[in-house]
Amino acid sequence: MIIDAHVHIGNSLGLVFPPQMVLESMEKYNIDYALISNLDGSEVDFDQNIIPDEFRQKQTDVNKRAIEFAKSNPDKIGTLLWGMPLMESCDDEFERLIADNLDVVHGIKMHPYHNKTRFDSPKVLEYIELARKYDIAVMSHTACDEYSDCRQVYEMAKKYPDVRFVMAHAQLGSPDNQQALDCLKEKLPNLYADLAWVRPENALRIVNECSADCLLFGSDNPIDGLDTYAHPEFYQIYFNEFKNMVTDEDYEKIMYANAIKVYKLKIQ
């Protein structure tokens, strides 16, 4: 079984991720289940400029579309609701979307860069508190910019031991993922990383120097289109050679079992 814990839908920032393409790529590459978030929750562009009102979408609308997609494909799709702390907040409507849809909502996704808000800022804490209230996980984009540092997620994981945190990308853009590894080495039982754009040799280093218990397979599918999973240096290695680089038990943990645990998925 393969669970992809980092998939998107949406049409923003010049990126187009049609839900139908997600399903087709999963079928084509034998992905059993995916956790999706809606990229349309971005509030600033790649240059950190606020997306103009006429293009920026409402937190409620963005997440309703993600929920609808999951509800129409409950055996294949679950969702993480996208928090928009810059122009909006963790309001009652956001809470209602979680409370009313716990069958498909498994977490909250924060994107410190595209929502221009550090992960340890007071507005993000409100989302973390909500995750605690509903016992769902919090996934944060992590990267090498001032907003998306792994260390901030680590600090929140220490502060909120009863909330499960995932450092998406184990710090995107870092050639060795060293900072993510350093955080994971602290062995907080509630801190994880996903492998979207993490080089397989770095994932192997995390397994060897830390543990396979903290890693979740993820991809950012369909960021490169229908054949995102065909990438020869990333996902094809995870589907093939990586199997022989770790024990069977560790492979199963990384490719699906940890995701079931972190996101409390009810799949067999």
# chain residues binding Zn ion, by CB under 5 A:
1
Instruction: Report the nearest approach of Zn ion to the CB of residue 172 (Å).
Output: 9
Residue nearest to Zn ion (CB): 220
Q: Cβ of residue 141: shortest distance to Zn ion, in angstroms?
A: 6
Binding residues for Zn ion restricted to 92-151, rule: CB under 5 A = none
Q: Which is nearer to Zn ion, 195 or 254 (CB)?
A: 195
Q: How far is the CB of 39 from Zn ion (least distance, A)?
A: 7
Decide whether 196 or 246 has the Cβ nearer to Zn ion.
196
- Closest distance between Zn ion and the C-beta of residue 209, in Å? 25
Q: How far is the CB of 161 from Zn ion (least distance, A)?
A: 26
- Of 4 and 220, nearer to Zn ion (C-beta) is 220
Cα radius of gyration rounded to whole Å, the chain:
17
The identity of residue 157, as a single letter, is: A
- Between residues 152 and 246, which has the closer beta carbon with respect to Zn ion? 152
Site for Zn ion in 196-255 (CB under 5 A): 220
Q: Using the minimum distance from each CB to Zn ion, give the nearer residue, 180 or 246.
A: 180
Q: Interface with Zn ion by CB under 5 A: which residues?
A: 220
